Structure 1
Amino acid sequence: MPTVTSADGTPIGYEATGSGPALVLVDGACCFRAFGPMRPLAALLQEHFTVYCYDRRGRGESGSVPPYAAPRETEDLQAVIAAAGGSAGVYTMSSGGAIGLAAAALGSGIEALAVYEPPYVGPDPAYTSRLHELLAAGRHGDAVELFQRRVGMPPEAIAGFRASPGFAVLEGIAPTLAYDDAVLAPGHLPPEVAAAVAVPTTLVAGGASPAFLQEAARATAAAIPGARFEVLEGQTHGVDPAALAPLLVKLLR
């Protein structure tokens, strides 16, 4: 698979499929190209776009040059956009929304941006502290479980998933949970970032998602001059690519 080198020297693995204008997809927490929703979504979009999927740093085929800082993730996205020809539409999922919005505020060649349910729900110092304790102790499985509890996964579902083969994949990328926590650290979209976003931007929420996620998306849209807010009825935070793809074609084509 091809790689692009980010500003700090980190190699970022990516792939491109389809034809048409460039579209870059940015994952949320616990996901990368081989484990998550973006490849199925890309398959539905490739007749409309040249779709770029990449592994966020520390995941899949991407490296992670220390020390980590949230702006490095913005630089990674900028590097992928440069590989796509210097301009692209961008779709972001969950915590990836903070990365896309930060990049849009800098210009970065983003022509249009769609953001699905950025989880701006306020800082949680107790979670951050415990997450770092578990990761420092090498307790990656417990760190994943801590994250799953925070996002509201039922205890019985966590227990079942922890016994499944897929849990080992999440243990392998558990250190990146601290990266997601860092990009969302302010707990809301910083006003200076919101004011600087000058590209067509749409915040999207699932109509069956928890009210706090819908409200976070709505509030983020309200903070950005000219941004739109859309609801995908019947969808949750784990949005169905088949339901999402037509909306992205409308917003980003």
Structure 2
Amino acid sequence: MTEYVQTEDGVRIAYDREGAGQPLVLIGGAGQFRAVDPDTRGLTSELAARGFDVVHPDRPGRGDSAGDPPFRLAGEVAAIRALLDVAGGRAWLYGSSSGGAIALAAAARLPGVERLLLWEVPLGEEAGADGAEFLAAIRQRVAAGDREGTLRLFMDGMPPEWFEAMRAGPQWPLFERMAPTVEADAEALAWTQSAPRARLWSSITAPTVVLLGTAPFPFFVDAADSIVAALPSAERAEVPGSGHRWRPADLADRLAGYLPAAAQ
């Protein structure tokens, strides 16, 4: 059953909650929300069966969550703050793809983040300018009302058939509606290049695991190495999967491996 919480700015965030045990908040990537993401719904149930209290939200402006443009990184962090309160004030964060950059921003700004679990985060080169340029281009398309162009640009660099399948599929109206929200994803990615990462993330003390599939795109590997180099308590780990996807049971098994033995 869908539940709701309000951010400090009064934005209503929808979420599912399942299981008992270690609180874990899931942060979706650019195209993820509950109505179109059966893999993460499956992951929620798999994690709940392995000792987690899982909070699976729709990010601001997506699915059943409220929110109006412009969508900013600060609004994503405010939503995570509210979800941490739902979870009792302390939780692990799992960030998928660009949601991993949002998770890093939340961990840098909020108390109560006990562990970070990041799946194939598409960071650019440290201190590079491409993130800021990408954000400017996304904002231009959002301001022009070009929702299809916004999503097409965001997915540039991925196999083109991914976008074409989304565009031709029955859920396209749902994706089109949430297109302006990827501005927050682009802002999060640009933020990771805004200063040397060791300094930018100096307030992050949570143990961090950067997860990669068995056949990741090379830029995900470079990004993982950069995150591990910048954080004092970070490691890489592998999950069976390829093409930026995993099977829910495989990922749940890997995440459950970080629980204390008594909780498993």
TM norm. shorter chain > 0.5:
yes
Between the two proteins, the alignment pairs up a number of residues equal to: 251
Greater displacement, 77-86 / 113-122 = 113-122
Q: Does 1:209 align with 2:216?
A: yes
Aligned residue in 2 for 1:153: 159
Aligned residue in 1 for 2:120: 117
Report the Cα offset of residue 163 of structure 1.
2.0
Deviations 1:162-183 (A, max 9, x none): 2221222211110012111011
What secondary structure is seen at the aligned counterpart in 1 of 2:191? Answer: coil
Aligned residue in 2 for 1:45: 47
Give distance in 1, aligned partners of 2:145 and 2:69: 17
Please show how residues 90-101 of structure 1 align to structure 2 within 5 Å. Answer: 90-101=93-104
Report the Cα offset of residue 69 of structure 1.
2.9
Structure 1 segments of 4+ aligned residues over 6 angstroms from their partners: none
Report the Cα offset of residue 185 of structure 1.
1.0
Check whether the contact 1:28–1:96 (CA below 8 A) recurs between aligned residues: yes
Check whether the contact 1:114–1:252 (CA below 8 A) recurs between aligned residues: no
Report the Cα offset of residue 81 of structure 1.
0.9
Q: Does 1:237 align with 2:241?
A: no
Check whether the contact 1:17–1:50 (CA below 8 A) recurs between aligned residues: yes
CA RMSD of aligned residues (A): 2.1
Please show how residues 147-226 of structure 1 align to structure 2 within 5 Å. Answer: 147-148=154-155, 150-154=156-160, 156-188=161-193, 190-226=197-233
Give distance in 2, aligned partners of 1:20 and 1:45: 10
Give distance in 1, aligned partners of 2:85 and 2:256: 22
Evaluate the alpha carbon distance shift between residue 202 and residue 84 of structure 1 in structure 2; reply closer, same or farther with a 3 A threshold.
same
Unaligned runs of 5+ in 1: none
Check whether the contact 2:132–2:190 (CA below 8 A) recurs between aligned residues: no
Give distance in 2, aligned partners of 1:226 and 1:157: 34
What is the percentage of aligned positions where both structures have the same residue? Answer: 35
What secondary structure is seen at the aligned counterpart in 1 of 2:175? Answer: helix
Q: Does 1:136 align with 2:143?
A: yes
Evaluate the alpha carbon distance shift between residue 15 and residue 247 of structure 1 in structure 2; reply closer, same or farther with a 3 A threshold.
same
What secondary structure is seen at the aligned counterpart in 1 of 2:43? Answer: helix
Evaluate the alpha carbon distance shift between residue 236 and residue 221 of structure 1 in structure 2; reply closer, same or farther with a 3 A threshold.
farther
Check whether the contact 1:221–1:228 (CA below 8 A) recurs between aligned residues: yes
What secondary structure is seen at the aligned counterpart in 2 of 1:59? Answer: coil
What secondary structure is seen at the aligned counterpart in 1 of 2:35? Answer: coil
Evaluate the alpha carbon distance shift between residue 128 and residue 69 of structure 1 in structure 2; reply closer, same or farther with a 3 A threshold.
closer
Give distance in 2, aligned partners of 1:221 and 1:126: 25
Report the Cα offset of residue 54 of structure 1.
0.6
Check whether the contact 1:113–1:252 (CA below 8 A) recurs between aligned residues: no
What secondary structure is seen at the aligned counterpart in 2 of 1:192? Answer: helix
Report the Cα offset of residue 86 of structure 1.
1.1
Evaluate the alpha carbon distance shift between residue 21 and residue 127 of structure 1 in structure 2; reply closer, same or farther with a 3 A threshold.
closer
Give distance in 2, aligned partners of 1:157 and 1:92: 21
Check whether the contact 1:8–1:65 (CA below 8 A) recurs between aligned residues: no
Evaluate the alpha carbon distance shift between residue 15 and residue 203 of structure 1 in structure 2; reply closer, same or farther with a 3 A threshold.
same
**Taking structure 2 as the reference length, what is the TM-score of the superposition?**
0.86
Deviations 1:101-158 (A, max 9, x none): 222223521222211111112424554343333322322122222222x13222x553
Evaluate the alpha carbon distance shift between residue 246 and residue 135 of structure 1 in structure 2; reply closer, same or farther with a 3 A threshold.
same
Unaligned runs of 5+ in 2: none
